[in-house]
Amino acid sequence: MTIELLLSLGVILGLYVLIYYNFIRGRQCRSDSSLKGKTVIVTGGNVGIGKMTALDMAKRGARVILACRVKETAEAAAYDIRKLSGNNQVLFMKLDLASIASIKSFCKTFLSSEPRLDILINNAGIEAKGKTEDGFNLVFGVNHLGHFLLTHLLLDRLKQCSPSRIVVLASRAYRRGRIDFKNLNPPGETWKEILQAYCDSKLANVLYVRELANKLQGTDVTCYAVHPGVVLTNLARNFPYWLQVLIFPFAWLLLKTPEDGAQTSIYCAVQEGIEMYSGRYFSDCQVQQVLPLGRDDAVAKKLWEVSEDLLELSN
């Protein structure tokens, strides 16, 4: 390899590092808040953003519950986090957000075995075809309805342990979302339908947090919607293999790492002084204004009521 080639590669690498750290990586959470004596649930805490969020919570001394569907990867993640953080209070509890029965079982087990819940991080998400165990569109069912029910069942414990927080992983994809109350359960079979369902679910996340904040007024529980940035995770694991192969080289170069993608979730979980922004949308570790479709209080209220009906919570 010639000196000229080595120099060229060095320049290219240097430029990439400059571009990544100045334009892709985004802001970092600088809070040094301790979470000793506190308990945190992270859904989907076995991989990607969720795992990096859980690792940070563990490093701060929290008792961390990885609420995950797949036992093998979750137990491996819990082992990794314990080893990296030096905190042995990291454990797995089975939770399948595509199953009402599983959500209820998780909450029953958690509430009977864990006296505290200080931070609930609704991180898990999916982008795939199919239906949930209860017949809902899989994407909408997991990303919105599953977390809606989970939060509902854990809310009293959060109130008892206040001041406490709820963080919901949304996405800038909400901008392309729509809430069609006549068609909240589309087939979700084609990739166009799946992508639209994902955008719809992220809009639902933003609206849900807005309405949740209204209902939490007068309590010491606050909630935040989070856009992590465009992150290299396994969210696209259900894409066709040829598409994964095609986009991976570009994704590896141009997307945030899971650690950097976790920063805004971490910020909203631990940063002091943001309580006044309960119900708001955060990106890059700062509050952001959302488009009008994400600020529609009438739609947010109706979505809450319809969600309760679908989950049979209003009976």
* 164 and 174 Cβ atoms separated by less than 8 Å: no
| Edge-first strand listing for the sheet containing 286-288 | 90-94, 63-68, 39-43, 119-122, 164-169, 221-227, 281-283, 286-288
**42 in any annotated domain:** yes
Nearest 5°: the CA angle 83, 95, 237 is 80
Structurally, the chain folds into a number of domains equal to: 1
Which residues are 165's β-sheet partners?
A: 119, 222
Give burial (CB, 10 Å; 0-12/13-18/19+) of 89.
middle
Cα separation of 163 and 168, whole Å? 17
**8 in any annotated domain:** no
**292 in any annotated domain:** yes
Nearest 5°: the CA angle 188, 73, 113 is 100
Give the three-class secondary structure for 171: coil
- Residue written as token pair 């963080």: 167
**52 in any annotated domain:** yes
Strands 39-43 and 63-68: parallel
**20 in any annotated domain:** no
Which structural domain, as residue segments, surrounds residue 267? 34-310
For position 62, what pLDDT does the model report?
98
Q: What is the DSSP letter of 179?
A: -
Strands 286-288 and 281-283: antiparallel
Q: Which residues contact 200 (CB under 8 A, 6 or more apart)?
A: 139, 140, 177, 178, 179, 180
Beta strands in the chain (DSSP E): 39-43, 63-68, 90-94, 119-122, 164-169, 221-227, 281-283, 286-288
List the chain pLDDT tens, one digit each, 315 residues.
577 666 656 554 555 455 544 445 458 899 999 999 999 999 999 999 999 999 999 999 999 999 999 999 999 999 999 999 999 999 999 999 999 999 999 999 999 999 999 999 999 999 889 999 999 999 999 999 999 999 999 999 999 999 999 999 999 999 999 999 999 888 888 888 999 999 999 999 999 999 999 999 999 999 999 999 755 555 455 555 544 444 444 444 456 688 999 999 999 999 999 999 999 999 999 999 999 999 999 999 999 999 999 999 965
**233 in any annotated domain:** yes
**15 in any annotated domain:** no
224 classed as catalytic: no
**21 in any annotated domain:** no
Structure token digits, residue 298: 């009438």
- Closest CA relative to residue 311, chosen from 151, 89, 106, 108: 151
Q: What is the DSSP letter of 290?
A: P
DSSP string of 16-45, one letter each residue: HHHHIIIIIS----------TT-EEEEETT
Cα separation of 198 and 213, whole Å? 23
pTM here is 0.88
Q: Which residues of 178-193 are buried (b: 16+ CB within 10 A; e: fewer)?
A: ebeeeebebebeeeee
* 72 and 46 Cβ atoms separated by less than 8 Å: no
Say which CATH number the domain at 46 has.
3.40.50.720
Name the catalytic one among 174, 198, 224, 267.
198
